């Protein structure tokens, strides 16, 4: 091949930078000539660096423009773009026309520069995502630790609020042989005692006799073994009973005596009261709780008050209570006055006061269940905090776990099966200001509870009407003495937590 092929290109200039190539491409684009025509109008049949010589034979030493350093790299880029097998332009096809993909970027891409152009972006995104995930995990871990710490603090606080009555447990253990034997193991019998002490913060509610304890309210709570019912039986404080010899606070023994019930608590505290109830009923007491005035008030406030309905207005200075008639919501202080009021309401008897206490406790239970307090730990905490601050229990209920298990067992009991009644009683024959048990009704009630059998309650007026019909022989049943029927469920005067006080 001669030098007529054109002036040699600068070996130091890359092939894609040759002015001839750029001018030729521009002229092709402007004139629309096919690629096989030379710039001067001649075809590629003449000697030309763009001819097929590089593909028809070995590379020529005198055509360095076709064998420059960039040619192999351009061919590689063209092959990757699907253009390497073109026979019309040969290496020229991988020159300026493919320059947008295989020019400087392609040459640089062989050295890895193209990859690094994208890597910083992907690396930044990945780094940011990893950074965000680490901080999210750290924040979540911190919140879990805080929640666990708060939960542990709350648990320890509530647990520490409870006072354990170890002295009662010790005395009951000393008299274990005389105590009743449990009949139904899964049933629970808990004695609830409302302390009437005027010591400390309770001083404003009456005269303080040296801080002496009196049981203003005593309730025997029976939880059925299947936890489908709960029966609360009030024991009148003026009920005449046999009180055993009990240990007193000065390490002495009281004498066995027949006197009113609340004397037992004053003489020998909780242990003496439990032994008195067990002797009277034959029911084994599994646990006990003593709650004072402030604990009751705080519990009512913790559930944001309890609604009642009054048929008549109340104005009782001794109970610090003044309320209009009708439906209204009582706060803790008002509720305490309501359940303690006696002389200014009804006939002034302790019997009517117990009925008001039962109705109010039913409304309190209904409020706690209807508002989901027992199912919501955040709402249950204030109630437990209020209760535990003024609560004294036996060692079997002196932890928050024990109390929560007890409450959890009661939360599914239907409100209509949470029943309240008073032991069958009548005025004491020797003193009408005292009470005595009515037999055999009282014995039948204790037997039902002892054996974990059902008990039914109805309002007092309905029970009285049923008794009148029974005495007159108008019980509505056919006279068929020969037929056998199951033993009817004993029915007593009382109420349930589902009762609406304003509809009675």
pLDDT level of residue 310 (50, 70, 90 thresholds): confident
Under 8 Å between Cβ of 66 and 8: no
Classified as helix, coil or strand, 319 is coil
User: What digits encode the pLDDT tens for the residues 380-400?
Assistant: 788 878 888 888 999 988 888
CA distances 481 to 276, 484, 491, Å, are 41, 8, 21
Q: pLDDT by residue (tens digit) across 333-378?
A: 999 888 887 766 665 567 778 888 888 888 888 888 777 777 777 7
Is the model's pLDDT at 110 over the cut of 70?
A: no
CA 265, CA 273: separation in Å to the nearest integer?
5
The CA distance from 249 to 256, in Å, is: 16
**Rounded alpha-carbon distances, angstroms, from residue 218 to 16, 236, 265, 283, 467:** 107, 7, 10, 15, 28
Q: pLDDT by residue (tens digit) across 408-449?
A: 778 788 888 999 999 999 999 999 889 999 999 999 999 999
For residue 332, what is the DSSP state? H
State the pLDDT at residue 92. 42
Pick the range with the lowest mean pLDDT from 268-282, 413-427, 437-451, 478-492.
Answer: 478-492
* CB within 8 Å of 34: residues ≥ 6 apart: none
Task: Say which range, 142-146, 226-230, 286-290, 451-455, has the weakest mean pLDDT.
Answer: 142-146
Mean pLDDT of the 307-316 span: 85
More confident residue, 141 or 97: 141
> Which range is least confidently modeled, 11-25, 228-242, 290-304, 318-332?
11-25
> Averaged over 155-166, what is the pLDDT?
82
**What pLDDT score does 225 carry?**
94
pLDDT attached to residue 86 = 41
pLDDT at 493: 86
50 vs 216, higher pLDDT: 216
Q: Which of 52, 354, 414, 309 has the alpha carbon at shortest distance from 192?
A: 354
Is the pLDDT confidence value at 264 over 90?
yes
pLDDT band of 140, cuts 50, 70, 90: confident
In the chain, what percentage of residues exceed pLDDT 70?
64
Q: What distance in Å separates the CA atoms of residue 232 and residue 193, rounded to the nearest whole number?
A: 12
Rounded CA separation 428/425 (Å): 9
pLDDT digits (tens, 9 = 90+) for 66-88: 444 444 444 444 444 444 444 44
> At residue 483, does pLDDT exceed 50?
no
Lowest mean pLDDT among 3-12, 308-317, 366-375: 3-12
Residue 350: which of 237, 198, 215 has the closest Cα? Answer: 237
pLDDT over threshold 50, residue 93: no
**pLDDT of res. 501:** 67
Q: Which position has the higher pLDDT, 108 or 283?
A: 283
Q: Is 132 exposed, middle or buried (0-12, 13-18, 19+ CB in 10 A)?
A: exposed
349 or 112, greater pLDDT? 349
Tokens, residue 256: 């066995």
Helix, strand, coil distribution of the chain in percent, nearest 5: 45, 15, 35
Question: The tokens 């009817």 sit on which residue?
Answer: 488
Q: Where are the beta strands (DSSP E) in 244-338?
A: 257-260, 287-291, 306-310, 314-316, 321-323, 326-330
User: What value does the mean pLDDT of the chain take?
Assistant: 73
Instruction: Please say if the pLDDT value at position 101 is more than 50.
Output: no
């Amino acid at each position: 091949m001669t030098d007529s092929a054109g002036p040699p290109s600068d070996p130091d200039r890359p092939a894609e930078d040759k002015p001839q190539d750029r001018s030729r491409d521009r002229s092709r684009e402007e004139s629309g000539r096919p690629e096989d025509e030379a710039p001067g109008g001649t075809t590629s049949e003449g000697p030309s660096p763009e001819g097929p010589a590089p593909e028809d034979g070995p590379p020529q030493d005198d055509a360095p423009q076709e064998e420059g350093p960039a040619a192999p790299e351009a061919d590689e880029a063209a092959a990757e773009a699907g253009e390497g097998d073109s026979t019309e332009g040969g290496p020229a096809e991988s020159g300026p026309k493919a320059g947008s993909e295989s020019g400087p970027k392609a040459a640089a891409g062989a050295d890895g520069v193209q990859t690094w152009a994208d890597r910083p972006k992907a690396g930044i995104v990945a780094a940011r995502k990893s950074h965000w995930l680490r901080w999210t995990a750290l924040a979540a871990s911190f919140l879990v630790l805080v929640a666990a710490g708060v939960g542990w603090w709350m648990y320890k606080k509530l647990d520490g609020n409870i006072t354990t009555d170890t002295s009662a447990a010790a005395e009951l253990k000393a008299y274990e042989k005389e105590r009743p034997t449990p009949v139904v193991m899964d049933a629970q019998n808990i004695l609830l005692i409302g302390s009437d002490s005027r010591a400390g913060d309770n001083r404003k509610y009456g005269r303080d006799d040296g801080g002496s304890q009196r049981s203003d309210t005593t309730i025997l709570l029976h939880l059925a073994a299947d936890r489908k019912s709960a029966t609360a039986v009030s024991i009148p404080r003026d009920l005449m009973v046999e009180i055993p010899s009990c240990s007193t606070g000065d390490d002495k023994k009281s004498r066995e005596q027949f006197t009113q019930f609340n004397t037992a608590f004053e003489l020998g505290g909780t242990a003496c009261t439990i032994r008195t109830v067990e002797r009277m009923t034959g029911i084994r007491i599994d646990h006990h709780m003593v709650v004072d005035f402030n604990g009751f008030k705080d519990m009512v406030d913790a559930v944001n008050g309890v609604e009642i309905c009054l048929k008549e207005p109340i104005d009782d200075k001794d109970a610090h209570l003044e309320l209009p008639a009708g439906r209204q919501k009582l706060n803790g202080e008002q509720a305490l006055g309501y359940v303690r009021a006696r002389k200014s309401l009804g006939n002034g008897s302790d019997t009517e006061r117990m009925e008001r206490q039962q109705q109010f406790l039913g409304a309190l239970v209904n409020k706690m269940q209807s508002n989901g307090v027992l199912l919501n730990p955040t709402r249950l905490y204030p109630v437990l905090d209020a209760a535990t601050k003024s609560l004294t229990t036996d060692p079997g209920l002196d932890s928050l776990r024990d109390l929560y298990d007890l409450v959890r067992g009661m939360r599914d009991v239907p409100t209509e099966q949470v029943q309240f009644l008073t032991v069958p009683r009548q005025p004491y024959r020797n003193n009408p200001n005292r009470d005595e048990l009515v037999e055999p009704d009282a014995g039948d009630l204790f037997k039902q509870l002892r054996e974990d059998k059902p008990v039914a309650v109805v309002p007092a007026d309905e029970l009285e009407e049923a008794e009148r019909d029974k005495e007159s022989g108008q019980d509505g049943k056919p006279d068929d003495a020969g037929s056998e029927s199951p033993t009817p469920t004993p029915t007593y005067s009382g109420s349930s937590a589902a009762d609406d006080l304003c509809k009675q």
